[in-house]
Amino acid sequence: MVESKLFNEDCLNTINKLRWEHVRDNKKTKQPVDLVVTSPPYNMNLRIMNGKYRSRQITDEFSNKYDGFTDNMPIDEYTDFHSSVLEGLLNISDLIFYNVGIVTGSKRAWFNIIGNFSDNLKEIIIWDKGNGQPAMQKQVLNRRSELILVFEKDYPISRQFRLKGTFDRGTLDDVWDIGRPLPHEKVDKHAAQMPEALVERILLNFSDEDDTIYDPFMGTGTTGAVAKRLNRNFIGSELVRNYYDAALQRIGC
């Protein structure tokens, strides 16, 4: 029987907890997590004026995107935070799928992080959402795609997923055409929910039944719901209480 454990806390606390429990139990071989699948906040509310970031500035259009979560970290804080998360995740899992949106408030951070973690960056998958949402300003490209950064601890120098790849030769591309969730599919009005089809593709091709899947930015529990349906164990962290409650109900913990 699969199990789910959900935590209403900063994911760094959960990561440290999982690492400490693993060391305490003297488990020297298998990592506590088989696969990480997540999509963190975009930092959408950090804007630019006159060539400089406007820290903590919230625009009306996006102020409620994360149900009260401001989503406007200064760019250096955003970079340091996600660098710490990735360092922690590499201590508890061999394979990490980190879906990111390249927007004004995150672009410079992710480009720096990609460089700093290049030794662990195994692949970059393009998530093609089918159509680009209209840009907020003129002379700005519509954002039709997001990047799934794949990090590996075991053997990142190779393109072969020899540890957890379950797909056959020639059957899986690096561009995934998966549309955004339809309005009726969104839980608790979460504006940035991952589609279940995206999570399902990752789990079916990079994990096995009874594996443990972790989502450090759980939101309303999309990863957990798919993991449960596909007979995977699930661990999730979510800071926003309303989303945590929605995930509890959705996953059935």
Helix (H/G/I), strand (E/B), else coil: 191: coil
Strand ranges across the sheet with 143-152 = 4-7, 233-237, 212-215, 35-38, 95-100, 143-152, 121-133, 175-177
HSE-CB of 247 using CA atoms within 13 angstroms: 31
Q: Specify the pLDDT at position 50.
A: 77
109 near 78, Cβ under 8 Å? yes
Token pair recorded at residue 214: 């972790």
* 11-63 tens-digit pLDDT: 999 999 999 888 777 666 688 999 999 999 998 888 777 788 776 545 444 44
pLDDT of 104-159, one tens digit each?
889 999 999 999 999 999 999 999 999 888 888 899 999 999 999 999 998 999 99
Crossing angle for the helix pair 222-229 and 241-251, nearest 10 degrees? 10
- Whether 75 and 105 have beta carbons less than 8 Å apart is answered as yes
**Tens digits of per-residue pLDDT, 216-232?**
999 999 999 999 999 99
Predicted pLDDT at 44: 81
CB 143 within 8 A of CB 134: no
Give me the helix-helix angle, 11-24 and 75-90, nearest 10°: 20
**Sign of torsion, CA 42 47 52 57?**
negative
Tens digit of each residue's pLDDT (9 = 90 or more) over 149-198: 999 998 999 999 988 899 999 999 999 999 987 655 666 555 568 999 99
For residue 213, the model assigns a pLDDT of 98
Q: Which CATH number fits domain 4-251: 3.30.70.580, 3.40.50.10260, 3.20.20.20, 3.40.50.150?
A: 3.40.50.150
pLDDT category at 89 given cuts 50, 70, 90 is very high
Residue percentage of the chain with pLDDT more than 70: 88
